Structure 1
């Protein structure tokens, strides 16, 4: 599903579970040697996705160990992002001749736990989400905001090597016209997990942005998708 949010220059792969056998490189296996079994499985599956994406770029598989902030350390000449949540693992990669940086994120399509939204959003964003909920009540807007901010950080970090906290980017969402008016499920009816909600978002950086080609970038734009119990977001900065 993540491919629906990405341009042709980006190769991607995804899995819904961890049933496929994966042989890790020794360097990778050492990273999760002490982790619980579930963490080991998701770690391996998302790296399987990354290897499949590398193959689609015509590149060989290579150990993908985490850096200082947990970010994957990609081969030279590759920009990429990985994500995993219950029921979904994915990787998206591109050659740096085509893409400067990218970020993807997946989350379950369920409301955030109580109190979390206030910790990851600005007052203006919360007002924005309330207005959006009236237009498209079938979207878990708080979870979408969280996911989009994760994609913002994943795009930001390779360009700056500095942290970006939730309050340092202000997001606006726009549902696609053909999905914005979708009605909520009626009381007592089973949720329609096949109904798709899609749209775009803009993240305005509230701190000095990365300098790209002698120009300081003050915002990122991305796309989002809510379907089959998942929230997916993606940002791609073309070269």
Structure 2
């Protein structure tokens, strides 16, 4: 599903569960040696997804140990992002000659726990979510906002190596209208989003990036968001 949100230059792969056997590189295995079984399994599956994406780019498999903040260490010349949640794991990669940075995120398609939204959303965002919820209550807009901000951070961090708070980006959503006519409600919802950075953005190619644009999808119990920052 993640491929639907990304340009052709980005290779991706996804899995619904951790049933496929995966042999980790020693560096990868060491990173989760003390983790619980569930964490080790999702860690392995998401790296399987990354290896499949590397192959689709014509690149060899390589160890992908986590960095200081948990971010994957990609091979030279590769930009990428990983995500995992209950029922979904995915990785998306591209050559840096095509894409500067990628951010993807998956979340369960359910409302955020009580009290979380206030720590994630700016006042203006909360007001916009109320309007969106009134129009399309089938979409868990609060969870979608959380996911979009995760994708923003994953795009931001490789370019800056600095933290980005939830209150340092403001998200606006657009929903793609469903075809008009009689019949049941659509089983999927999709659209685009714009993230306006409220702090100085990264400078790439001599240009300061003050906003990121991405796409979103809600389908089969999963919320997905993705940003691919092209050159």
TM-score (norm 1): 0.94
Give CA-to-partner distance per residue, 1:193-235, whole Å, 9 cap, x none.
Answer: x701000000000000000111111000000000000000000
TM-superposed CA distance for 1:182, in Å, is 11
* Corresponding residue SS for 2:33: coil
Distance 2:181 2:124 in 1: 23
Task: Quote the residue 2:75 is aligned against.
Answer: 75
Distance 2:181 2:108 in 1: 22
Cα separation, partners in 2 of 1:182 and 1:172, compared to 1, 3 Å:
farther
Task: Quote the residue 2:163 is aligned against.
Answer: 163
Distance 1:195 1:17 in 2: 21
* Residues 53-202 of structure 1 mapped to structure 2, 5 A cutoff: 53-178=53-178, 195-202=187-194
TM-superposed CA distance for 1:68, in Å, is 1.3
Distance 2:200 2:180 in 1: 33
TM-superposed CA distance for 1:180, in Å, is 10
Is 1:236 the equivalent of 2:217?
Answer: no
Distance 1:149 1:182 in 2: 35
Distance 1:152 1:56 in 2: 25
* Residues 35-46 of structure 1 mapped to structure 2, 5 A cutoff: 35-46=35-46
TM-superposed CA distance for 1:60, in Å, is 0.6
Distance 1:208 1:182 in 2: 47
Is 1:10 the equivalent of 2:24?
Answer: no
Cα separation, partners in 2 of 1:211 and 1:41, compared to 1, 3 Å:
same
RMSD: 1.8
Distance 2:83 2:200 in 1: 26
TM-score (norm 2): 0.97
Task: Quote the residue 1:188 is aligned against.
Answer: none
Give CA-to-partner distance per residue, 1:30-86, whole Å, 9 cap, x none.
Answer: 000010000000000000000000000000110001111111000000000000000
* Corresponding residue SS for 2:73: coil
TM-superposed CA distance for 1:136, in Å, is 1.3
- The gaps in structure 1 that reach 5 residues or longer are 186-191
- The gaps in structure 2 that reach 5 residues or longer are none
Distance 1:102 1:40 in 2: 24
* Corresponding residue SS for 2:51: helix
Distance 2:143 2:182 in 1: 18
Distance 2:216 2:150 in 1: 12
TM-superposed CA distance for 1:130, in Å, is 0.5
Is 1:23 the equivalent of 2:15?
Answer: no
